[in-house]
Amino acid sequence: MKTTISQVPTYEGQEVTIGAWLANKRSSGKIAFLQLRDGTGFIQGVVAKSGVPDDTFQLAKNLNQESSVYITGTIAADSRSPFGYEMQVTAIELIQEAHDYPITPKEHGTEFLMDHRHLWLRSSRQHAVMKIRNEIIRATYQFFNDNDYVKIDPPILTGSSAEGTTELFHTKYFDEDAYLSQSGQLYMEAAAMAFGKVFSFGPTFRAEKSKTRRHLIEFWMIEPEMAFIDHDESLEIQEQYVSFVVQSVLKNCQLELQTLNRDTSKLETVKAPFPRISYDDAVALLKEKGFDDIEWGEDFGAPHETAIAESFNKPVFITNYPADIKAFYMKPDPERSDVVLCADLIAPEGYGEVIGGSQRIDDLELMKQRYDEHGLSGPAYKWYLELRQYGSVPHSGFGLGLERTVAWIAGVEHVRETIPFPRLLNRLYP
Cα–Cα distance, 172 to 413 (Å, whole number) = 36
Contacts to ligand 4AD from residues 43-62, by CB under 6 A: none
Among 315, 348, 401, 422, binds ligand 4AD (CB under 6 A): 401
Residue 331 to residue 358: CA distance in whole angstroms: 7
Instruction: For CA atoms 175, 180, 185, 190, give the dihedral sign.
Output: positive
Give the whole-angstrom CA distance, residue 318 versus residue 30: 62
Using CB under 6 A, count the residues that bind ligand 4AD: 23
* Contact of residue 66 among Mg ion, ligand 4AD, none (CB under 5-8 Å per partner type): none
Q: Which stretch binds ligand 4AD (CB under 6 A): 78-86, 219-227, 245-253, 285-293?
A: 219-227
Residue 404 engages ligand 4AD in binding (rule: CB under 6 A): yes
Q: What b-and-e string marks burial along 7-29, b requiring 16 or more CB atoms within 10 Å of the CB?
A: ebeebeeeebbbbbbbbbbebee
403 contacts ligand 4AD (rule: CB under 6 A): yes
Strands 316-319 and 276-278, sheet pairing: parallel
Q: Does 187 bind ligand 4AD (CB under 6 A)?
A: no
**Using rule CB under 6 A, residue 411 touches ligand 4AD:** no
Nearest CB to ligand 4AD, comparing residues 223 and 256 = 223
CB of 269 to ligand 4AD, least distance (A): 21
The answer to whether 215 contacts ligand 4AD (rule: CB under 6 A) is: yes
Q: Say if residues 216 and 405 touch (Cβ distance below 8 Å).
A: no
For residue 206, state whether it binds ligand 4AD (rule: CB under 6 A).
yes
**Spatial separation of the C-alpha atoms in residues 196 and 330, rounded to whole Å:** 19
Query: How far is C-alpha 425 from the chain's CA centre?
Result: 19
Taking CB under 5 A as the criterion, the residue among 73, 154, 348, 356 binding Mg ion is 356
Cα 387-278-341 angle, rounded to 5 deg = 10
Q: Is 216 near ligand 4AD (CB under 6 A)?
A: yes
Should residue 422 be labelled a site residue for ligand 4AD when binding is judged by CB under 6 A?
A: no
Nearest C-alpha neighbor of 44 from the set 17, 61, 22 = 22
Binding piece for Mg ion, criterion CB under 5 A, among 203-211, 220-228, 304-312, 353-361: 353-361
Cβ within 8 Å of residue 185, ≥6 positions away: 162, 223, 225, 329, 397, 399
Please select the residue that binds ligand 4AD; options are 163, 305, 333, 417, rule is CB under 6 A: 163
205 touches 401 (CB < 8 A) = no
Comparing CB distances to ligand 4AD, the nearer of 44 and 319 is 319
Shortest distance, position 313 Cβ to ligand 4AD, whole Å:
20
Query: Under the rule (CB under 6 A), what is the footprint of ligand 4AD?
Result: 162-163, 183, 185, 206, 208, 215-216, 219, 221, 223, 353-357, 397-399, 401, 403-404, 415
Q: Using CB under 5 A as the criterion, which residues of the chain lie in contact with Mg ion when the complex forms?
A: 356
